[in-house]
Structure 1
Amino acid sequence: MSPTAGPRTRLNEFGLELPEVSPPKGAYIPALRSGSHVYVSGQVPMENGELVATGKVGAGITPEYAKELSRRCALAALAAVDSVVGLDSVLRVVKVTGFVASAPGFTGQPGVVDGASDLFLAVFGDAGRHARSAVGVAELPLGSPVEIEIVVEVTD
């Protein structure tokens, strides 16, 4: 991987491309710029407008698969950022919040959300280091196993 490569080049080096931004399923927008930050609404793992998986992590959804789904959510979040300002405008990933639909007794939420965090580090290097919360919840929209939201700082 080239250390000076931009985020799009890094995505390509990993064989990844940004998905289409999923249309909102409610009264909100996928991403909003306010000042020097872009706030991204929670992203669930979608493909062609459909949820990729449903269920709870620790009961039907393995932590390893949930980590992959978390990465998919992170890609969707980057697509939402790109639709507002373009990925090359990102100075740093500031905050990641990961929600994990958890079976009773499942406490591996941080490992699941690592799928998103690892992607941001790979794409942005040190600028991908961020503050983070990994929260276990009873249910997520549409029955999704994971949901990721982010805040990024961008250039003027």
Structure 2
Amino acid sequence: MGRNIRERLTELGLTLPGASAPKGAYVPAVRSGSLIFIAGQIPLTDGELTATGRVGAEVSPEWAKALSRQCALAALAAADSVVPLEEVTGAVKVIGYVSSAPGFLGQPTVVDGASELLTDVFGEAGRHARSVVGMAVLPLDAPVEIEIVLEAATPVT
């Protein structure tokens, strides 16, 4: 990639968090060839949930969008644990899960927080395919969970 991702994060006023320890029997990220599959990230601050509850009830859609962005930043940290960010060329796929109050229909706008972070960081290479799902409840009562697939410049051989 032509630009340094860490410098771009600094320009955006963002600090890459430490990769979150798994909350179960899995790893935060796995590299397969040129793809980096990142486990679902929930919004954590210092290892604790930043917010809990359902979007459209206990959590506003605007706050949930910011939490979605926080999850995407955590996903970059997880990716950095298996491949240096300087080797990441862009995003391939985002899956967003939104814990939704009955009648809440704004899930795509919530997950835009993650999508926008990726385009802010990678430019056009951050544009990706995406799925968004409304859920009754997420692990630990998180309002949002984001799963991302990134691509690296050179595949592992």
Match of 1:144 in 2: 142
Aligned to 2:101: 103
Structure 1 residue 146: deviation in Å? 0.2
Question: What residue number does 1:50 align with?
Answer: 48
Partner of 2:58: 60
Of 73, 82, 85, which residue of structure 2 is paired with 1:84?
82
Q: CA deviation at 1:107?
A: 0.6
Q: CA deviation at 1:42?
A: 0.1
Matched residue, 2:37: 39
Query: RMSD of aligned C-alpha atoms?
Result: 0.8
- Bigger mean CA offset, 84-93 vs 118-127: 84-93
Q: What are the ranges of 5 or more consecutive residues in structure 2 without an aligned counterpart?
A: none
1:26 aligned to 2:24? yes
Question: CA offsets, 1:17-64, max 9 Å, x none?
Answer: 110111001000000001110000000001111111100000010000
| Equivalent residue letter for 2:11 | E
* In 2: Cα distance, 1:134 partner to 1:54 partner: 19
Distance 2:122 2:5 in 1: 6
> Aligned residues: percent identity?
63
Partner amino acid for 2:106?
A: G
Amino acid in the other structure paired with 1:105: G
* 3-state DSSP of counterpart to 1:114: helix
Q: How does 1:99-138 map to 2 (within 5 A)?
A: 99-138=97-136
Give the superposition deviation at 1:5. 3.4
SS at match of 2:81: helix
| Secondary structure of 2:105 counterpart | coil
Amino acid at match of 1:131: A
In structure 1, C-alpha distance between the alignment counterparts of 2:16 and 2:142, rounded to whole Å:
20
- Structure 1 consecutive aligned stretches of length 4 or more whose deviation exceeds 2 Å: none
Q: Residues of 2 paired with 1:16 and 1:153: CA distance?
A: 21
